[in-house]
Amino acid sequence: MESLKLPATGRTPEVDFDFAQGVLRLSGESYPDDVATFFGPIFAALRSFLAEEGGHPIRFDMELLYFNSSSAKALMNIFQMLETAAGNGRSISVTWCYEENDDSMQELGEDFAEDLEHVAFTLKQIPADGAS
């Protein structure tokens, strides 16, 4: 399946879903003015990818520094898709990165991970780059 790559904009994250390698990455910030328009194509691509037979393991790197509450709902949707696929036997690992001292983002990682049973979830602290 073809990769989904979207460059970051001021309000939307960089999307780098390399489906052939099974490596999916979101980085930057997410507070789109229209969440449905931004996340719609991402959901669609992910859904068809997860529906493929006999796929190899998936690694999802969550490297967002900030997301708003409407994006939180969309991210939860992605997590639930991954959890369902993992429950059906796909090997899926998620790494949630947060900058050191960013308690909010660390805590959000815990909030999202709470009911994951089949996805292997890791919280990873990364050095702050000094930029906000």
Residues near another protein (CB under 8 A): 10-11, 31, 33, 35, 65-66, 68-70, 72-73, 76, 99, 101-105, 107, 111-112, 114-115, 128, 130-132
Smallest separation, CB 102 to another protein (Å): 4
Smallest separation, CB 20 to another protein (Å): 31
Nearer Cβ to another protein, position 29 or 45? Answer: 29
Nearer Cβ to another protein, position 14 or 99? Answer: 99
Nearer Cβ to another protein, position 33 or 53? Answer: 33
Q: Helices marked H in 1-132 — which ranges? A: 35-51, 69-87, 103-113
Q: Which residue has the tokens 């909010």?
A: 104
Closest listed residue to residue 61, CA positions, set 34, 21, 118, 33: 21
Q: How many CB atoms lie within 10 A of CB 82?
A: 23
Smallest separation, CB 71 to another protein (Å): 9
Under 8 Å between Cβ of 14 and 7: yes
Closest listed residue to residue 13, CA positions, set 49, 44, 42, 45: 42
Nearer Cβ to another protein, position 59 or 118? Answer: 118
Smallest separation, CB 29 to another protein (Å): 9
Under 8 Å between Cβ of 93 and 120: yes
